[in-house]
Structure 1
Amino acid sequence: MITADTVYGAFCDSAAQWPDRPFLNVMPETAQIYDIEAGEISYARALVQVGSYAAQLKSAGYRKGHRVMLLLENRPDYFLWFLACNAIGVSVVPINPDLRAAELSYMINHAEPVLAICIAHRSKELRKAAKSAGVDMAVMEPHGSLPHAQTDMCIAARGGDPEAALLYTSGTTGQPKGCILTNEYFIEAGRWYSAATGICAITTDHERMITPLPIFHMNAMAFSFMAMVAVGGCLTALDRFHPSTWWDSVRRSKSTCLHYLGVMPSMLMGAEPSAQDINHTIRFGFGAGIDPKLHAAFEQRFGFPLSEGWAMTETGAGGTICANREPRVIGKSSIGSPDEKVQARLVDDAGKDSDHGELLVRAAGTDPRKGFFAGYFKNQAATDEAWQGGWFHTGDIVRREADGTMYFVDRKKNVIRRSGENIAAVEVESALAKHPSIKSVAVAAVPDGIRGDEVFACIVPKGAGTSEMAIEITQWCLRQLAYYKAPGYIAFVEELPVTATQKLQRATLKTLANTLLGDPATIDLRHLKKRIKA
């Protein structure tokens, strides 16, 4: 059990107890992609490196109240710099490397960081984005010379539990919101995992976890990382998910547990069955979004259970719900039932309790926000709205059966969930609306057998809509937004479903998009959605 009150403190405690144990493991394939050293990094060795980074930061004038951006992809240095910043009270701002110039400028302007630690080939782009944002942010490449802090840019310390990270997540109102994550947020994530029972139980007996998920998201950064810190375990973070080599990585990493998103089981089940399918040391997988039709077949084929759970960046461990206790309901999108530390309600559109409605959660006990985010940075109104009535409103529709088991149904919020990334429809619409060939546009989610959701754009064009125009619009969008936000499908329509007051009818739009998905005139652009190399 973690007793420290900071991320760095928890790491130091584990390093003192298990100095010779492996802390981080870099697979050869990941090392080759990143051109870094492969192999294991012990707790003792990591502690020395973290201490060196912290000393450099302190000497250069960085202090509590500063924010440092981290654009390091899934390199182990990400965790070491995070710990070093935490050691001196500096908050980190994780950057999704798929973001484009305008998105980076927005984040820099909003977060007001004083420094970015960035992989070499993105440093020029970050400097340009900072200049565009009007923020005097220094940019340092890993192992480069650390520039001195501009102390006059220091953000005033926010009282109480200090901020450990500012993590941006897509919402329903356009630009991403900055979620303030405190030390308590990370500590509670580690405590939740280390105290979990049932099939997700982990021990202090040399646990090893593998994840291909981005460490700039809360799943890997808070849960995977803090779980291993809590029990003196070893974390293997791959650069990303590679279906063809996944099981080789799992076997060679000697992992005992793994984290997944629904896209992963779908791809793995598409491979030819092999006698090697059960040749691994995995006891369980923890994740969300598996195709219900594949759930039982996956467990039978690969020989371990997948524990489906529910959480958001905002809820952290304070509102996590997980189907980790037997008997589990398999193949029906069950997220289990809340444990004794979580209170949950389902409410209908009138706000009345129901067995089918929006999920509301809070922590049990005297502090209903324990383990949750501390709020949206520079957006108290959105924070108050999310916590209306003393409950966190998740925007997810859930149904509950008589035994208390909950099942995920859909999203009430206008958010598209593609391969684990939350995409705000309004953000995509705002970007597309700037294209000179578009008169009006609306975006909705349509189902995708591999990625969960895909982005579908209904466009009223200026003039005749053609496949060439659709391709040009998508290529243009790929230069404005992260690749996964671009339309996977475009349908040119004469008008959008709006009310008499010209308000977009989202429910009607969703039905329209799903109908148009099978229309031969709809243009499939998914092949264009590829990561753009800087």
Structure 2
Amino acid sequence: MQAIDYRHGEQPLHEYLRHHARIRPEKAAYLWYGKEISYGELDRLSDRFAVKLAALGVKKGDRVLVFLNNCPQYAIAHFGIQKLGAIISPCSPLFKKHELEYQAADLGAEVIVAADQLYPVIEQVLPSTRLKHVFLTHYGDMLPPEPAISVPPEMSTPKLAVAGTMDFLESLEQPGEAVPQPALQMEDVALMTYTSGTTGMPKGAMLTYRNALFKTACTAFASGAEHDHVMLAVAPLYHIAGMLMGLNVTVYSGATTVLLHRFDPLAVLQAIDRYKVVNWYSIAPMNVAVMQAPQAGDYDLRSLRINPCTSFGITLTEELAERWRAFAGGCQTYEAAYGLSETHTCDTYTPPDAIRWGTQGRLLPGVECRIVDPQTGNDLPVGTLGEIAMRSPGNFKGYWNKPEATAATLRDGWVFTGDMGKLDADGNLTFTGRLKEMIKVSGYSVFPEEVETILIKHPAVKQAAVIGIPDPAKGEVVKAFVVLHPGAPASTPEDIIAWSREQMASYKAPREVIFRSELPATGTGKMLRRLLKEG
């Protein structure tokens, strides 16, 4: 199968940014509520951040955390880190103490770029991690004086100044020394995004410059992104899919992207109407919310021609797609892709003229897929349900400092996904569920061991086990089974739930807690979560 051709050769994506900065320096790379950030400016500012990091002693291979929601500062940090040859590791802005502490400690990171409003979480983890350089930024720092579209109210909060930290944008004001020019190879690790793998606590999936370039080229091919397009980026940049569309495809294609801090139906309507957006990667509940927004019919969406969509929480059905087509002036929406962090996502795509509803589409050029018996590893016939295994230039190098987990997932160049599915005779892949025990809450990955590790920090909890249970709005939610310490202060399920919401991201917190006298386990003590699901 022919692989994707790269538009400007095989080089790291930040070199694509430099290419567009040379030939179109004044063109807008991003539109941020009416403010233009040009390719030339994005290139200069990310260069300056690379210089600043180098001055702090950061070098090739060092890990840098980015603890931000969507904003232009995210793009500046992302490409600045990679220009230096350092490794960016995104953290969800929903993280609480234990989650940030785990990732920072696991990576041994010394530098973090964060939103000022998230500093209280950082402050809690400083004593137990190697973090010593903290850059803070405010989401409103780069807003124009008169925003062109609706701005979320949280972006108008007062800016927080913290002694001992550095203001991110102020640190870029002085050009400083020459931009570092490290010797980079396409197989160097550029990104570590945390994922479950097949089991256990979150693991840092090591993704290379080549992985990112290949999957970005695949995504640009699948979505038809071109340099004269205006795209809309709403999905979180810290998530692999949002990063791919909002950061990578933007600089790869040379397009202009309207960047939103978070999803807001009114802002989406305003953005598409005002900027004549052509291409929007959405999540199915977003399309529904936009159609239901007050005065939605007052906005002109006829510029929108490309709308790949992911089913999270709500399934993208043919009926829903037809409703969207009628609402959006003829724009077809369709299932975006199947993929996972270990493959830099986007292993499949749906050609708009060959939609097969109920599937995740066909394999992208250069991507191979096998359906195997999860017990024997033997290939299964077409149409037979089994474990999905993927191979492509997008496959990761392994998990950070976890050779055993790497060996279990990455075998002879194939990523054994732990997902169940089947291929039809036309090569369309249907994902049917997870062999592994990861829980998907509104599209977010929740790892049972991580939630359990936090739950047992509660003074009344002796043991905990969590599973996912179906939820009509979120796909799944977390259910916890808890054994209390004998003689512990009286606690109710509601007490445990309320405490959990203070200790972890809201989507990870249990929605239901059941008290048990004991939990099912093997003779060696391994938790048998499947028995909790069955009973």
State the distance in 2 between where 1:497 and 1:270 align: 45
Instruction: Indicate which of 16, 20, 24 corresponds to 1:18.
Output: 24
Unaligned stretches of 5+ residues in structure 2:
1-6, 137-167, 173-182
Normalising by structure 2, we get a TM-score of 0.81
> Would the aligned equivalents of 1:104 and 1:129 in 2 still touch at CA under 8 Å?
yes
State the distance in 2 between where 1:62 and 1:312 align: 29
Residue number in structure 2 paired with 1:489: 512
Cα displacement (A) at 1:144: 4.6
Cα displacement (A) at 1:307: 3.0
Residue number in structure 2 paired with 1:447: 470
SS in 2 for 1:485: coil
> Would the aligned equivalents of 2:12 and 2:186 in 1 still touch at CA under 8 Å?
no
Alignment of 1:289-300 (within 5 A): 289=311, 291-292=314-315, 294-300=317-323
State the distance in 2 between where 1:208 and 1:465 align: 58
State the distance in 2 between where 1:260 and 1:215 align: 13
State the distance in 1 between where 2:534 and 2:307 align: 34
Q: Does 1:129 align with 2:125?
A: yes
Distance 1:487 1:467, change over 3 A: farther
Q: Does 1:348 align with 2:344?
A: no
Which one-letter code corresponds to 1:15 in the other structure?
A
Cα displacement (A) at 1:101: 1.4
Residue number in structure 2 paired with 1:396: 419
Residue number in structure 2 paired with 1:527: none
SS in 1 for 2:281: strand
Which one-letter code corresponds to 1:43 in the other structure?
Y
Cα displacement (A) at 1:278: 6.3
Cα displacement (A) at 1:440: 3.7
Distance 1:278 1:492, change over 3 A: farther
Instruction: Indicate which of 88, 99, 108 corresponds to 2:95.
Output: 99
> Would the aligned equivalents of 1:189 and 1:227 in 2 still touch at CA under 8 Å?
no
Unaligned stretches of 5+ residues in structure 1:
28-37, 147-156, 364-369, 513-534
Residue number in structure 2 paired with 1:209: 231
Distance 1:456 1:268, change over 3 A: farther
Cα displacement (A) at 1:460: 4.3
> Would the aligned equivalents of 1:439 and 1:459 in 2 still touch at CA under 8 Å?
yes
Instruction: Indicate which of 54, 59, 62 corresponds to 1:58.
Output: 54
Which one-letter code corresponds to 2:208 in the other structure?
T
Residue number in structure 2 paired with 1:310: 338
SS in 1 for 2:425: coil
State the distance in 2 between where 1:384 and 1:14 align: 39
State the distance in 2 between where 1:265 and 1:81 align: 30
CA RMSD of superposed structures (Å): 3.0
Residue number in structure 1 paired with 2:443: 420
- Aligned-pair identity in percent equals 27
Alignment of 1:95-494 (within 5 A): 95-123=91-119, 125-133=121-129, 135-141=130-136, 142-144=168-170, 161-171=187-197, 173-196=199-222, 200-204=223-227, 206-243=228-265, 245-268=267-290, 275-276=297-298, 279-289=301-311, 291-292=314-315, 294-301=317-324, 302=327, 303-308=330-335, 309-316=337-344, 320-330=347-357, 332=358, 334-350=359-375, 351-354=377-380, 355-363=384-392, 370-461=393-484, 469-493=492-516
Query: Could you give the per-residue CA deviations for residues 451-510 of structure 1, whole angstroms, max 9, x where no partner exists?
Result: 222112233456899997122101221232222110122234565455576644433433
State the distance in 1 between where 2:500 and 2:66 align: 25
Normalising by structure 1, we get a TM-score of 0.81
Q: Does 1:87 align with 2:116?
A: no
> Would the aligned equivalents of 1:108 and 1:130 in 2 still touch at CA under 8 Å?
no
> Would the aligned equivalents of 1:209 and 1:256 in 2 still touch at CA under 8 Å?
yes
Query: Could you give the per-residue CA deviations for residues 94-115 of structure 1, whole angstroms, max 9, x where no partner exists?
Result: 2211111122222221112232
SS in 2 for 1:118: strand
State the distance in 2 between where 1:167 and 1:408 align: 22
More deviation in 352-361 or 88-97? Answer: 88-97
Cα displacement (A) at 1:335: 0.5
State the distance in 2 between where 1:122 and 1:250 align: 30
Residue number in structure 2 paired with 1:8: 14
Residue number in structure 1 paired with 2:161: none
Q: Does 1:69 align with 2:65?
A: yes
Cα displacement (A) at 1:91: 1.9
Which one-letter code corresponds to 1:179 in the other structure?
A
Cα displacement (A) at 1:411: 0.9
SS in 1 for 2:341: coil
> Would the aligned equivalents of 1:123 and 1:140 in 2 still touch at CA under 8 Å?
no
Distance 1:293 1:232, change over 3 A: closer
